[in-house]
Each structure stands twice: as structure tokens, then as C-alpha cells.
Chains A and B, each alone.
Chain A
């Protein structure tokens, strides 16, 4: 019998989008509220896993043409360069800096280099989770 995943696939289209938005919100809110790179990254990969459940490996790979191993490397590189970057400013490694900026639409915003470190964590978590799931899924 041919299975029909119409309901699952339609719900996934909406849900995956909402989950990704929520995960980004959690990622960006990590400094002031519970959340951060780790949970955000896990939740984003949950959205991708939901896509994998509704469709198949090939379709999702076509949808998101990302090499997740390179994603891990990029994440690590971002974090390590944030750590090493403080050397350029003659401060001990991993010293973070922040400042207030005025943007036209957003108004007064505080930007912090710890977010860059967190961005690295976010990418590594997505990369690792997806690499694990993809390699297990692909192996026969």
C-alpha cells in the first residue's frame, strides 16, 4: 500500500518554520533569559530532523545544501577566533567586549562579542547533531 504523508508534510512546512524562528529567538535571548547557543542549536536541528521525518534524506539535502562537517569547522573557527581575537587588543585571551550602538530602526542596542562565541557554539551543535543523524540514517 502506498502511504500518504500529506497531513504530516503540510504541518511540517508550517511547524519547521516556526521552530526555526523560535530557536533563533532563544539563541539571541541567551544573555538575558534562559537559552543560548546550545539550546538554540539543538532546536534548529530539531526542525531539520522534523523535515527529515516528513520527507527523506535526499529531499532535505536538496532543500538545505549544507555540508554539516564544514559547518562544525566554521563554528569552531568563529569561536576560536573570538577567543584569539582579544590578543589583537592586547587583552588576555577570551576577554569579551561590548558597547552600545544606535541603529535607525532597532534603536539603542547593546552588542557583545560573547554572541559571536555563542554563534560558533550554535553552528557546532547543529553541525554535530545533523552529522550524527545523517550518517546513521545513510548507513545500511
Chain B
């Protein structure tokens, strides 16, 4: 029985519910949530290995046959993203044990944390467009609470904006699904894909494709729709920020990837061209932001925008190299962004400020932190042995095949500027003259540093083990290039 594919959703859901009973006992909460996270990683590993052997797994929830019930579809793409989510979740959880503070822990922090994972994993695994909406809402509701929990002035101010933007984009999502339903008459993604390819994607479906781009662009922060992200993310406490930066925008990108390869691959001249232009503009805006600021949190936040642009550009190419490059880069970026936010959090804890101008000389007292940050920085920029390299190389190859030389140039130059923006943190923060900080200058950071080192280690292994990972990536992109594989796997019992 392939109930196992739902385990990445069920496990955090049960954990989140059980944690409500132990609201005031933080010790028990930490124990249970750590145990569940480790089980989650094990389950996700098993899922990846299981799918690599047996192909796409579709679970027909409630024993209802495919287009009529909800299907949970685990292909390699979803399984890899679920595995990455579990890894990031575990690391951020470990950081939260030390980094979030009692007053938040007692107000259901760990429960909401688990519900966020429910939403993210569910969105990756579902095979039903309305179910995707529901999991989006699960994820967003949890993120609203995590953003506002603690109730400082900045948090209240920014969560108001964040909720407003997301309520509007969710309403637009419902409207778009309603349009789509009134035309194709089904909500199952495989069935929608089949019917659109039978109809050859007439004009109205291209309109719906663009509407989906607007919806998922708002969630995933692509160019004209990214404006809410820098402020909202800036207000969140560090573990929450790491979780948001690593997971939330990536779910939007995943949804673009899924809908544009499965449902709307027929009129690429318009939709994918539009995606490419927006992606390039996203990269440019992100780069400008990343260079402009002297605030370490802001620099990393704008790096999220750049990565979203690079991945979206890879998706818009729609060839083997472009898509596998995107998938490669997506997984790399989820891990490295979480790691960078955790490292930046430790720097802020030591110095008590997030302004680069007020720090310096950290490497003398904290050499491990410094060199971990250095490794994370060059991984982010994509220096060859590290994890950012293979993905960007594949995307560039894909762009060369397609003749998209402007995009290629922008991605290349952006790598350089990403490196500049992040190395600036290293140079000004870790080198130079030591400065004295108002709280005691030497605090113990080992316990906070462990999860960050863990993530950087995973990222380095991911970079070195490219040869090992590549077959999985190829298997992940197969149903993207040929949606018929996905459709057949889901609707198999029909014939």
C-alpha cells in the first residue's frame, strides 16, 4: 500500500496536534518535535529511494478513482523537495531550541512550526489544484502566526502588509481556479493537463496561465510582485526568517514549475517568453537590492529574490538542461538560504546589530563561524566544487541551446554580483578591526552554530556528490519534459 507517500504530511500534522496538549511544557515540546523531524527526514529518504525504484507513486485518497477523488502524487521532483524541506526543517528546529526564546515557545511556536511543514509538504505532494490552494492556505496561515508571534511593533506592522498581500493573492487563486474549472471541468492536475492538451490550449487558457503566473508570482516573489517580501521578511525573528526564506517562496516557484510544465506547455511563445522576461527583471532587481544595502539581513533577503529569478529563468527555457538546472538550483538554494540566515542570525546575536558598518573583526574570536560563512558564501555564488555551480551551469547550457543569450549574460553577471554582495559581509563583518559591542563581546555560540554547520555540510556534500545526485534530478525532470508520464501514472486505472 502506498500510504507512505502521505507520511511527510501526516507526521507533522499529528505532531502539531499533539504539541497543543503540551503548550506550557517546553521540554516535552522540544523532544517530540525533534523526534518527529528526524522521523520525517527518514521517511523522506525512504520515499526518494522508493520512487527511484518504482517510479511515480499516486495515492488515491479515500479509495476514489483518480479524476474524482484527491490524488497525492509523489514523483521524484516532489520527493526531492520534501526531503530538502525535512532537512531544512530539522536544522531550523535545532536552531530554534536556542534561538527563539521562552515567551514564543510557550505560545504554540512548535505546533505552528509543524503546521507550516504540513502546508509546504502538502503543496509539494498534491495532485489536485484546489487541494494545492488548501495547502497553500495551511502554509500561509501558519506563516502569519509565525511572523506576528512575539508582537513587537515591526512584526505587527509588517504582518499586516504580508497578510493583506496574501489574502488578495489567495482570492485571485480561487478566481483563477474557478475560471479554469468552468473551462476544463475538472480539478485534478493530470486530468486538467490531459484536457488542455486535447483542446490545444486556446486563448482563454493562455489567459488563465498568465493569471496563475500572477498568483504564484505573488507567492514566490517574481519581479513586479516581489515588493512585499523585503519588509515582511525583515521583521521575522531569525529561525522563522530561515524557514520562510528557504521554503515559502520556493513553493510558489514549484507551483509555477508544475503548472507550466504539466498544464500549459502548449503556447510557449507567449507564456514562457513572459516568464523569461519577468525572471530576468527579477534577477536585476534582486541584484540591485543585494548590492545597495549595508544591512546583512537585507542583503540575504534580496538574494532570495535573485535565486527566484534564476530558477524561474531555468523553467522558462523548457529543455532538459534548463529544467534539471532549475531543480538542482532550487534544492541548493533551499539549503543554502536557510544556512545563511542562521549564520547571519548568529552574527547578529554576537554584535547586537544587523548593520555591516558597525561590525568587524569577528574572525579572531569566532573562526569556525567565519569560515563556515565563507564556505556558505562561495557555495551561494556557485564556485565550482560547491553546490551552486552545477545548477547554474546547466541553466546556462540550457540558455545557450535555446539561444537566450541576454538571459545567459544576466545570470552570469548576477553570479558575480551575488558573490560581491555576500563577500562584502565576510570582508566587513569578519575581517578588519575588532569592535566592541554593547553586550559581552564573547558569547557561546556552539549550540546555535551546529545546525548551520550541518546545513553547510549537506550543501557541500550536495556539490561534491553531483554525479551521485544527477540521476535523481534527471528522473525528477522526466515528467516535466513529457507530461504524459505524469498523466499516465495518475490516471492509469482508467483505460
Question: Do A92 and B20 have beta carbons less than 8 Å apart?
Answer: no
Query: Is chain A's interface secondary structure helix, strand, loop, or mixed overall?
Result: helix
Query: Is chain B's interface secondary structure helix, strand, loop, or mixed overall?
Result: helix
Interface string of B1-34 (1 = CB under 8 A from A): 1010010001001100110110100000000000
A18, B10: Cα distance in complex, Å: 38
Question: Do A87 and B17 have beta carbons less than 8 Å apart?
Answer: no
Question: Do A93 and B10 have beta carbons less than 8 Å apart?
Answer: yes
Counting CB contacts under 8 A, is A66 at the interface? no
Within 8 A of B (CB), among A71-99: 72-73, 76-77, 80, 83-84, 87, 90-96
Residue of A72, A84, A93, A96 near B59 (CB, 8 A) is A93
Shortest A71–chain B CB gap in Å is 10
A72, B14: Cα distance in complex, Å: 13
Question: Do B61 and A84 have beta carbons less than 8 Å apart?
Answer: no
Counting CB contacts under 8 A, is B121 at the interface? no
Question: Do B20 and A93 have beta carbons less than 8 Å apart?
Answer: no
Question: Do A92 and B21 have beta carbons less than 8 Å apart?
Answer: no
- Chain B residues with CB under 8 Å of A84's CB are 10, 14
Counting CB contacts under 8 A, is A70 at the interface? yes
Counting CB contacts under 8 A, is A31 at the interface? no
Q: A93-B3, A93-B6 are in contact. Are A80 and B17 (CB under 8 A)?
A: yes
Counting CB contacts under 8 A, is A112 at the interface? no
- Chain B residues with CB under 8 Å of A80's CB are 10, 13-14, 17
- Chain B residues with CB under 8 Å of A13's CB are none
Question: Do B17 and A73 have beta carbons less than 8 Å apart?
Answer: yes
Shortest A10–chain B CB gap in Å is 38
- Chain B residues with CB under 8 Å of A72's CB are 20
Residue of A70, A77, A92 near B61 (CB, 8 A) is A92
Question: Do A73 and B20 have beta carbons less than 8 Å apart?
Answer: yes
Question: Do A94 and B62 have beta carbons less than 8 Å apart?
Answer: yes
Question: Do B17 and A76 have beta carbons less than 8 Å apart?
Answer: yes
A73, B23: Cα distance in complex, Å: 11
Counting CB contacts under 8 A, is B60 at the interface? yes
Identify the interface centre among A76, A77, A92, A94: most chain B CB within 10 Å of its CB: A92
What would 29 A/B residue contacts be, using CB atoms closer than 8 Å? Answer: A69-B20, A72-B20, A73-B17, A73-B18, A76-B20, A80-B10, A80-B13, A80-B14, A80-B17, A83-B10, A84-B10, A84-B14, A87-B3, A90-B1, A91-B1, A91-B63, A92-B1, A92-B61, A92-B62, A92-B63, A93-B3, A93-B6, A93-B10, A93-B59, A93-B62, A94-B62, A95-B62, A95-B63, A96-B62
Binding site for B on A (CB under 8 A): 69-70, 72-73, 76-77, 80, 83-84, 87, 90-96
**Apart from A70-B20, A93-B61, 12 more pairs, CB < 8 Å:** A73-B17, A76-B17, A77-B18, A80-B10, A80-B13, A80-B14, A84-B10, A84-B14, A90-B1, A92-B59, A93-B59, A95-B63
